[in-house]
Amino acid sequence: MQAAVVPTLGAKLEIQQLPVPEPGPGQVLVRMEASGLCHTDIHAAHGDWPVKPTAPFIPGHEGVGVIEALGPGASVHRVGQRVAIAWLGSACGTCSYCLSGWETLCESQQNSGYSVNGAYAEYAVADDRYVVTVPDAVSSFDAAPLTCAGVTTYKAVKVSNLRPGETAVIVGIGGLGHLALQYAKIFGGRVIAVDLEDAKLDLARQLGADEVVNARTTDPVEAIRALGGADVAISLAVSPRAFEQAYGSLRRGGRLVCVALPADDAMTVPIFDTVLSGKSIIGSIVGTRKDLQEVFDLHAAGRTEVIAQPRKLIEVNDCFEEVLSGRVPARLVFQF
Ligand code: NAD
Ligand code: ZN
Ligand code: ZN
């Protein structure tokens, strides 16, 4: 099979011919139809984060395809079913987090395309219990970005406790942000979109943003305060400065939800203002299998729109450059 492999951290990816993996106990073998490029895959290949993947490895955690074989004991799914392989590759199923609906916090979890091989390949094996069935009404092409960008931002809006009529600022209208703003609208928010690129802000308008702010040409904190301030700010831009600006745009009682994971791993927040203004700072990591089912159901019901462009896996290095340059309208998806 063809696969894109990170040979060593920081190196360009290599297209290699590898044997099709065998599904082990409790695993399924998935023939990939579509595989999204999340900015996380770039962080993974670059070794940007404190906990690093072990090279060589195959990135990718927005994999959608058809089950071709079952490993011994796999009994949840059947051959021929279409499923999604998400960041949460597996979890223990028995710890207090797993038992309380917080499997995304499980300390024994494996992560697709990071601690185990992922979806930048014609085939991947995955845990039968943790792949999620894709409804017939959702194409594989659309399902791919929903599998990380969708579920992550849907969960971020949930944990923000956004209420109807409140103002939500979405910082960074990339793969995650273009879906985040749609979920914030579904939850009843008034949405202010922030990015550095006018093309992204035009897209945000098309997808329902009420206001847009270009943080390259305008001070976003002043602009958002002039619009009444944010009850919720969701930080999806890969820049600590953008996190600080998102915090600065909050009204009293406001909630900052941190989602992006810049290599530069620190932000400065004032203690005094956080205390006196009753502000919250919340971290949010992907979403559960149940959250992803809800994301698929919303899409099947016509409530969300996925903006993505198709690419070939052999173009992977150029695709990384495209994403880093800010030129991509939302998501790139490898088609097989
Ligand atoms: P992306 O590159 O598609 O989007 C980032 C967007 O931010 C771009 O539109 C860019 O123009 C914009 N931007 C950059 N600097 C900005 C600034 N200073 N102000 C405003 N906008 C700015 O990336 P993505 O795939 O959407 O991922 C975003 C981040 O989220 C990455 O760090 C990724 O690793 C992380 N992520 C986190 C989770 C999680 O569960 N917490 C899940 C998926 C991705
Ligand atoms: Zn992702
Ligand atoms: Zn667990």
**Structural domain includes residue 298:** no
**Structural domain includes residue 138:** no
- At residue 177, what are phi and psi to the nearest 5 degrees? -65, -35
**Structural domain includes residue 175:** yes
- Same domain, residue pair 231 and 196: yes
C-alpha 268 to ligand 1 mean position (Å): 19
Domain containing residue 77: CATH number:
3.90.180.10
**Structural domain includes residue 211:** yes
Compute, in degrees rounded to 10, the torsion defined by CA atoms 89, 5, 8, 126: 20
- Same domain, residue pair 209 and 262: yes
**Structural domain includes residue 142:** no
- Same domain, residue pair 155 and 220: yes
Q: In Å, how far are 41, 99, 106 from 52, measured between CA atoms?
A: 12, 27, 18
- Same domain, residue pair 107 and 208: no
**Residue 173 alpha carbon, nearest atom of ligand 1:** 9
**Residue 331 alpha carbon, nearest atom of ligand 1:** 3
Q: Would you state the structure tokens that stand for residue 155, as one six-digit string?
A: 């969960």
- Same domain, residue pair 268 and 170: yes
- Same domain, residue pair 174 and 80: no
- Same domain, residue pair 16 and 128: yes
> pTM above the 0.75 mark?
yes
Q: Using most ligand atoms within 8 A of CB, pick from 35, 37, 38, 61 the residue to mutate for ligand 1.
A: 38
Evaluate whether 257 touches 250 at the Cβ level (below 8 Å). Answer: no
**Structural domain includes residue 219:** yes
Q: How does pLDDT run along the chain (336 residues), one tens digit per residue?
A: 999 999 999 999 999 999 999 999 999 999 999 999 999 999 999 999 999 999 999 999 999 999 999 999 999 999 999 999 999 999 999 999 999 999 999 999 999 999 999 999 999 999 999 999 999 999 999 999 999 999 999 999 999 999 999 999 999 999 999 999 999 999 999 999 999 999 999 999 999 999 999 999 999 999 999 999 999 999 999 999 999 999 999 999 999 999 999 999 999 999 999 999 999 999 999 999 999 999 999 999 999 999 999 999 999 999 999 999 999 999 999 999
Query: How many distinct structural domains can be found in the chain?
Result: 2
Domain containing residue 222: CATH number:
3.40.50.720
Q: What is the domain extent for residue 21? A: 2-133+306-335
Radius of gyration of the chain (CA): 19
- Same domain, residue pair 165 and 267: yes
- Same domain, residue pair 122 and 165: no
- Same domain, residue pair 219 and 262: yes
Taking the CA of residue 24 as centre, how many other CA atoms within 13 Å lie in the half-sphere pointing to its CB?
A: 2
- Same domain, residue pair 271 and 165: yes
Q: Would you state the structure tokens that stand for residue 22, as one six-digit string?
A: 């065998």
Residue nearest to atom 35 of ligand 1 (CA): 260
- Same domain, residue pair 331 and 267: no
Residues near ion ligand 2 (Cβ under 5 Å): 38, 40, 148
**Structural domain includes residue 266:** yes
Give the binding-site residues of ligand 1, using a 6 Å CB cut-off.
38-40, 43, 148-149, 152, 171-177, 194-197, 200, 215, 236-239, 241-242, 259-261, 284-286, 323, 326
List b or e across 55-71, with b for residues whose CB sees 16 or more CB atoms inside 10 angstroms.
Answer: eebbbbbbbbbbbebbb
**Structural domain includes residue 291:** no
Residue carrying the six token digits 């299998």:
289
> Given its phi and psi angles, is residue 326 left (phi above 0), alpha (psi -120 to 50 degrees) or beta?
left
